Amino acid sequence: MTELAPLLARIADKRDDLIALTQDLIRIPTLNPPGDNYREICDYLDRRLSAHGFMTEMIRAHGTPGDSEKYPRWNIVARRDGAQSGECVHFNSHTDVVEVGKGWTTDPFGGALIDGKIYGRGACDMKGGLATSIIAAESFIETYPDFHGAIEISGTADEESGGYGGVAYLAEKGYFDPKKVQHVIIPEPLNKDRVCLGHRGGWWAEIETFGEIAHGSMPFLGDCAVRHMGAVLDKFETDLFPAMAQRRTDMPVVPEGARQSTMNINSIHGGQKEQADDFTGLPAHCVPDSCRIVIDRRFLDEEPLDMVRDEVTGILNSLKSSRAKFDYALTELNHVLPSMTDRNAPIAATIAGQIQTVLGKPAQFVASPGTYDQKHIDRIGKLKNCVAYGPGILELAHKPDEYICVDDMMVSVEVMARSLAALLLPND
């Protein structure tokens, strides 16, 4: 076993560097949408990582959703090869953050350090995680420059909007080919003592019911699309929601409520368009001939996607036979299959072992209710040895006054650096 005391001493020396790096990243406002400052944050990471001996590559995801001359989808992949051949450990972090929203008492792009917490949009999700992985990698490389294999760090766009201009694009270009990369850690905020093995699936669809326009004083001369949609929602309440509530997954999803199938009705609209807030007129009297909803169905590893689709279309088709003049259209908007890494996979077992060493208690294995970029590494990259592990507190993601605790980051730096030592130092 290699002596790890020099590594731990070096990590302890980098606390101020970790704070400054996290603050710098927060101060580059990479809001998505629209995808602000992706080039700026990649340039910052390029300067930082090049100075620490990484070879860097800037990759623009041309032609992906949202990519334009005004809002180019820039990504960075940095690689540091060791002195001898071996496996590659890749840290992937998204650089985008969601909108600020209301309710902040600190500057969302100020990166203020108050009582051991760094505040700002993206502090927790996930610029704190990105900074943590950089400090872990730099500490490891400086202590053991003769390590075996390679370390990669990527900063990628658009995770918050599906990852198509980020990890999906890189996976399509071969950056997550298992021949090139063997282990992936995504430092999403799942808490310093938990290893996240994967996520549930998602199916998004728009359903439209049709009617016939007529004068509102004589609705019997038309056909009300909103009433038809009411019948759809009623069937969801009586048939679909109770059936979904019965299904429990073996996936260790947190929070507990997400361990079953869920569905959100994302939006509903029927009849006349809503007018602008400053419109002072009255509505015309019409029977609506169209009503649309968007559904957001999250499903379990145990539920095949076809079953998820058929369950909804089955309800719609049953209404077609039982309800006069009922007609509908269903348009699938997107789908993501569940992803689950085995808890005995090398990266999952390695991180769990180091959590036990650093914190003196067993790691908790969890799965995420929502999807994240693991889906692309798994499905497009065909790389199964991937988990999420990062220091942020999950419940703070996307909230006002989002923060990250410096002490939590320091714990995760140690877990990540020890994991690098376990994977990239020879066992002599």
Residues lying near Zn ion in the complex (CB under 5 A) are found at 125-126, 188
Which residue reads 């070096």 in tokens? 10
**Quick check: 193 and 358 in contact, CB under 8 A?**
no
Nearest in space to 171 (alpha carbons), one of 238, 90, 227, 50: 90
Residues 379/202, Cβ–Cβ less than 8 Å: no
Q: Which is nearer to Zn ion, 188 or 223 (CB)?
A: 188
Q: How far is the CB of 388 from Zn ion (least distance, A)?
A: 9
Residue with the CB atom nearest Zn ion in the bound state: 125
Residue 80 Cα distances to 52, 134, 138, 427, angstroms: 9, 12, 10, 21
Q: Is 351 helix (H, G, I), strand (E, B) or coil?
A: helix
* DSSP conformation letters of 298-339: EE-TTS-HHHHHHHHHHHHHHHHHHSTT--EEEEEEEEE--E
SS3 142: helix
Provide the minimum distance between the beta carbon of 373 and Zn ion in the complex, in angstroms, as a whole number.
Answer: 8
Cα angle at 54 between 51 and 55, to 5 degrees? Answer: 115
The tokens describing 277, both together, are 């807030």
Give the DSSP per-residue string, 275-289: PPTT-------B--S
Report the alpha-carbon angle 290-295-296, nearest 5.
165
Give the nearer residue to Zn ion in terms of CB position, either 126 or 263.
Answer: 126
Q: Which CB atom, from 25 or from 319, has the smaller least distance to Zn ion?
A: 25
Question: Shortest approach of Zn ion to residue 159 CB, angstroms?
Answer: 6
Question: C-beta of 176: minimal distance to Zn ion in Å?
Answer: 18
Using the minimum distance from each CB to Zn ion, give the nearer residue, 158 or 188.
188
CA distance 192 to 422: 18
Shortest spacing between CB 94 and Zn ion, in angstroms: 6
Is the CB of 67 or the CB of 188 nearer to Zn ion?
188
Residue 312 CB, nearest approach to Zn ion (Å): 28
Looking at beta carbons only, is 126 or 421 nearer to Zn ion?
126
Query: Least distance in Å: CB of 114 to Zn ion?
Result: 23
Residue with tokens 């949408």, as numbered in its chain:
33
Of 190 and 420, which CB lies nearer to Zn ion in the complex structure? 190
In angstroms, the CA 404 to CA 88 distance is 28
